[in-house]
Structures are given as C-alpha cells and as structure tokens.
Amino acid sequence: MSSGVDVRRRPGIWSYFSFNSGPRRRTSVSLPRSNTETLHDDPFEKPDRHTRRRSTGTIGFMDKGSAMNQGRQARYLKTGGIIAFILLILYFIAPRDGISRESFSKGGGNTAEPGAETKQCTKSYSKDKPLIQYALMIDAGSTGSRIHVYRFNNCGPSPELEDEVFEQTKKIEGQSSGLSAYADDPEKAAKSLDVLMEVAKKSVPESYQSCSPIALKATAGLRKVGEEKSKKILEAVRNRLEKVYPFPVVSEENGGVEVMGGEQEGVYAWITTNYLLGKIGGPDKTPTAAVLDLGGGSTQIVFEPTFPDSASGGMPKHLEDGDHKYELKFGGREFTLYQHSYLGYGLMEARNNMHKVFLTQLHEQNKDDKSWLKKSIVHPCLSAKMAKEVEVTLGKDHPLGETVSVNFTGPADGEPALCRGLAEKTLEKDAACKLAPCAFNGIYQPKLDQTFAREDVYLLSYFYDRTQPLGMPESFSLAEFRDVTHRVCHGEEAWDVFQGEALEELKGRPQHCLDMSFQLALLHTGYGMPLEREVKIAKKLKGNELGWCLGASLPLLSKESGWQCKLKQVTK
C-alpha cells in the first residue's frame, strides 16, 4: 500500500481493537495453488526400478504338433503355476542389497506413506528432481532455537512450498533457551536441540530422511559469546547431528552449521517474504516488498531501491557501491538490493541500551550519591503506575558498576515523548556520516521516500509480536502506530480501547511502552519513514512462517548446495 493512501477513507485504527485473535485484514495475500487432485509415485525411486520384464515366451511345454495329450498338458500347467507362485513370493521377501542409498531423483512416488504425496501433479517438472523434497533449517537465535521442516513439490519450474512444521525450544523466564545459554558447555548446547530433532524425525517420512538436508545458522546471540566459544558449540552441534540423526548435514564449506552474517539474515528474510507473496520465483516482474526484521540482538532492513533514469533535484542516480549492496539471482531474475544489519539494535539490546542511557543521565545529576539506586526509580518508558525489576548491563568502566539491578516504576500519567527521546538517543542520529545519506549510527541508506515510496513494507518478528496481540490490523500507518503507543504508555486508565487478550498482554508486560516507543523511533527517526507511510505486520503468509529460514532453505533443494544422501544399512 503506498504512502499516498488516505487513511481517512478506511476504518480508523481504533475500530480494530475489539478483535482479540489474528490481525484484522485490509489486504490479503495468497499463494498460487493448482486444482489438480491426483496422486503420484515415489520420487526417490527410478520409474523402472521395480518393474519386472514380461517373458516373451509361453508358460509350460506345449507341443505345437499336439503330440501331448490333455492330461499331460494340465499337469505341466499346474506345476508351472506353482513354481511361478513360489518364485514370486521369494522375489518380494528377499533383500535386494546389503547396503542401499535412498534414490534422490527421477520422479515417481510412494503414495502409501504419509507426507510422500502431493495433490498438485503426478510427475516432477524436471527429470533431475524428485516430485517431493524436504529441507530442514535450525534457527539458533538469541532467545531460543527453532526448527523449520519444509516440504516442497517440484510440479513447476520453481519449487512450491506445500507445508511447514515449526517448533521451538521451551522458553525460560528471564534467560535465553538458545545455544548461547550454554556458552561453557558445548555438549549441552548440542543436546538442547534434541527436542527439535525429534519433531523433525516425526515430520519427515522415514524413506525421505536420508535425502532431506539439514543446516543450522546461528544469529546475533551466538556472535556475542566470542569466536572461540561459538566455534566449540558449532563443532559439537555438527558432530551430534551427523552421528545421532538420519538427515544429511550441509558441508562446512557451504555453511551447513555456522554463525550467519547479518547481511545474509536480512536477504534470506527478503527472499522468504517475496517468494511467499509470489513476487519472485515466477515469470512476472512485479515490484518487490521491503522487509524489516527485528530480532532480539539485531535488526535488518532489505529493499530493492529504484532510481529514475534521469534523476534530478537531489535524487540519486544509482545505489552506491559498498557492503550494503547485495546482488541476487533468483528464479531467473537479477536483483540489486540494499541491505544492512544493525548488531546491537535488536529489541532486547534496545531495552538495555535505553535503560543504560537513562541511568547514566541520572548518575550525571547525582554523581556523589548512589543511594537512589536502591530506591524505586520513576522510568518514563514503563506504562503508567506499573513496576518492573530490571538488571541492566552498563559495561566494565561505568561508574555505577558493570551491572546493576534496579526497581523501575512507571510515571503517574505516562511519558511517551520522554521515552521516545531515550529511544532516539540510542540511535545516534548525530554520528558521522561518511557516505550520505545516512539512516542512523552513520550508516548509508537511500532515502525510502525517494527510492521506495509506494511499494509494500513488511515488519517481521518483534514488530509483529508487540502489535498483533493488541488487536492492531494487518496494515496501518506510522501515525496510527504512534497513537496506539501513546495509549499503551499512559497506562490502564487509557486502555479502554483494548479488550480481552490485549489487556492481559499489557498488564503482563510493563515494558510494552518501551518496546513500542523504540520500534516507532527506529521506523520514523532511524529509517526515515514518514508518519503517513503504511506498513504491514506479518508472522505467516498462507500458514508459512516468515523470517530468514525459508529463504536460506530454498538453495538446499539443489544437491550442489553441499550435501549427499546418507547411506542407510538395510537390515534383513
């Protein structure tokens, strides 16, 4: 939806808050689906593997000269039939080989096994690809680990996602359940994934497991434990995946188990979103959507800027060269993307950054007295009259100590403007800008209102998690986002527009005001989006999880991506 949409022509934002389930829809997206309702053969078997050749001769010993009498003919026929029946039984019960490799290609299908069939077609588009393929991706994030089990069909020139199974490690109050939580115990870190791998084994048909590749990519959380510790954890993970589970692990050279670069994280999320929207991977050259992903430790922005052939009036002519420029080939098309990953600006990091700025300001006002640390401290970023005990990491050289535990209390009437000010201070808009224009923290970014003014903008992860539970619609303007944020910050007396689950969410999360204030500052002040700009929130499209995982999994469907089917011992 373009920035030129007149928000007065559609329902006001407050008309959506009586709904407590999924976000109300102003727009809809869908994946193309075929109406074909046929079954298929086993993709992991060559079409003629089990085909028995017909004999060109006759059964029995009949003499064309009619020398045999009818009794002898009957006896021969009966004996031949018995022998043929015995041979047929032996054929089916005898093992073919001592060792077999699950065949990876050439079409076919075993429709008797659940998960081994598709309703879209009966034959693979390419003879070099199976009809059905599975790919597994583990997202080792800063707050926990998650597995995505994808099932694709190859009915067309590009793989079509049919199903996804998603599972995550159990959340632990006050701490991460991800690999970084076991920084000093690599083996325990590897075993923490067992619960996810059991889900994978149940989701992928047994006959497909040895040819269904798996990869693990760690994000911001594991980057922060240090190179030496993260390396040991990843080695333990690879070792356990290879020895305990039936899935082939993508090779080290191809990044099968690795700490993923932030630029990859953002680009993969962009691929996922635009693939599910049908904007890439097909024959049509449609405008693509921007993707803004907010994780716990980092945040990413990726979009395809456009530059008029005759740029003037301060309009740039092209995307400047640099690390931010990402050339992508996908589905027969070429894309020049702008991308950047801001490490340290994920939501959990943003909370700590804002608390640190706030406490530092208080220290500057009370340098000779630290007794205030033991008292309840009024914090503008907590919703009015709410309280929260918070542990803040200040750094080794901070005059208040490396970490402090403090009791914050929200102001009597809410202070959204002051909270927004704290958020903007953490963005460092005044940092030196070596290559203009800059977004924040001195990072170059083409202006969105010039190079991406009308295309869709999708907000993922924590953007969704903090707005959808409040009943916000699928699409809204930043001005509407600001109005809701103000309501949240002003506390329970201003929450009359919220009902049911939304109220429970707000009452159980005193820092909701802080979270939304930071998100608003990031979008408007940081990335430079005008308040009238429409954005979309999403967690899934047509039942498929958004984020970087699908985009990273699509390349695994090619055996050139660094894996081979596992050998499987056949027991007699």
**For 41-176, where are the alpha helices, taking DSSP H only?**
70-93
Q: What does the block give as tokens for 506?
A: 């707000």
Catalytic residue among 265, 455, 474, 480: 265
Contacts 24+ apart (CB under 8 A), 233-236: 233/179, 233/182, 233/183, 233/186, 233/189, 233/190, 234/258, 234/259, 235/186, 236/186, 236/187, 236/189, 236/190
What residues does 538 pair with on adjacent strands? none
Angle, CA of 18, 19 and 24, to the nearest 5° = 120
Count of H-run helices and E-run strands, the chain: 15, 21
How many residues are recorded in the chain? 572
Phi, psi of 68 (to 5 degrees): -80, 150
d(CA 523, CA 504): 26
Helix axes 512-521, 347-365, angle to 10 degrees: 100
What secondary structure does DSSP assign to 85-109, as a single string? Answer: HHHHHHHHHS-S-SEEE----S--E
Residue type (1 letter), 419: C
Residues 292 and 273 sit within 8 Å (Cβ to Cβ): no
Task: Report d(CA 251, CA 19) in Å as an integer.
Answer: 47
Place of tokens 């500057």: 364
Structure-token match 């931010």, residue found: 324
**Crossing angle, helix 478-489 and helix 416-427, to 10 degrees?**
120
Beta bridge partner(s), residue 215: 137
Distance CA(223)–CA(402), nearest Å, equals 20
DSSP 8-state code for residue 379: -
Q: Which of 542, 547, 421 is nearest to 161 (CA)?
A: 542
Binding residues for ATP: 296-300
CB atoms within 10 A of CB 306: 15
Look at residues 220, 221, 238 and name the one whose alpha carbon lies nearest to residue 183.
221
Query: What residue has token string 């940081």?
Result: 526
DSSP assignment string, 223-236: HTT-HHHHHHHHHH
Burial track 544-569 (b if 16+ CB lie within 10 A, e otherwise): bbbbbbbbbbbbbbebebbbebbebe
Examine the residue annotation and report whether 455 is marked as an active-site residue of this protein.
no
Q: Tell me the binding residues.
A: 296-300
478-489 vs 512-521: helix crossing angle, rounded to 10: 150
Residue 265 CA to residue 262 CA, distance in Å, equals 5
What's the number of CA atoms in the CB half-sphere (13 Å) around residue 311?
11
* Catalytically active residues, by annotation: 265
